[in-house]
């Protein structure tokens, strides 16, 4: 997918937002410090865009707005959510699907409203937010390790 010039978009809230930022770092730089990483963007990272979109269109649209601007068919959206019920994350998935962006998610608790919408749901039925967030990073680190072998 990335070999075709597609990008990875990542999002989440709170600790999951920090994990989206960390994952973007691992895909862009950590995967290959020699400059051959994956084109990845955390939709949580630009505070100016997020605060503007939240103020003008509502917090529930902060990720959808960015996906509408950047997403294209064949891209990948990875959402991180402890509950799977954050409205901005669910809306991001819906917007991505409209644009033919592949959707994946790493979810805890029941997987919430996000789980049935995702093309690739990775669900850990744990009822602890901190453990759910730890599992998000374990999956990302495993994914990066696997990509290195390709």
pLDDT at 1: 59
Sign, CA torsion 125/129/130/134:
positive
Phi, psi (5° rounding) for residue 28? -80, -50
pTM of the predicted protein model: 0.96
pLDDT at 2: 62
Looking at residue 45, what DSSP letter applies? S
Locate all alpha helices (DSSP H) within the chain, ordered by sequence: 15-25, 47-57, 62-70, 87-98, 129-148
- Cα(33)–Cα(29) distance, integer angstroms: 5
The tens digit of pLDDT for each residue in 7-52 reads 999 999 999 999 999 999 999 998 876 767 899 999 999 999 999 9
CATH code of 2-148, in short, is 3.40.50.10490
The tens digit of pLDDT for each residue in 55-90 reads 999 999 999 999 999 999 999 999 999 999 999 999
Structural contact between residues 87 and 60, judged by C-beta atoms closer than 8 angstroms: yes
pLDDT at 32: 75
pLDDT at 75: 98
pLDDT at 34: 72
The tens digit of pLDDT for each residue in 86-143 reads 999 999 999 999 999 999 999 999 999 999 999 999 999 999 999 999 999 999 999 9
């Amino acid at each position: 997918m990335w070999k075709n010039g597609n990008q990875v978009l990542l999002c989440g809230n709170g600790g999951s937002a920090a994990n989206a930022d960390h994952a973007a770092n691992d895909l862009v730089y950590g995967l290959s410090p020699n400059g051959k990483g994956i084109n990845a963007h955390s939709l949580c990272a630009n505070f100016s865009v997020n605060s503007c979109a939240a103020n003008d269109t509502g917090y529930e649209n902060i990720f959808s707005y960015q996906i509408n601007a950047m997403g294209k068919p064949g891209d990948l959206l990875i959402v991180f959510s402890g509950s799977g019920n954050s409205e901005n994350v669910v809306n991001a998935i819906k917007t991505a699907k409209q644009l033919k962006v592949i959707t994946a998610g790493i979810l805890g608790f029941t997987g919430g409203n996000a789980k049935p919408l995702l093309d690739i749901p990775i669900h850990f039925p744990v009822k602890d937010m901190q453990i759910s967030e730890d599992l998000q990073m374990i999956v990302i680190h495993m994914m990066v390790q696997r990509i290195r072998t390709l």
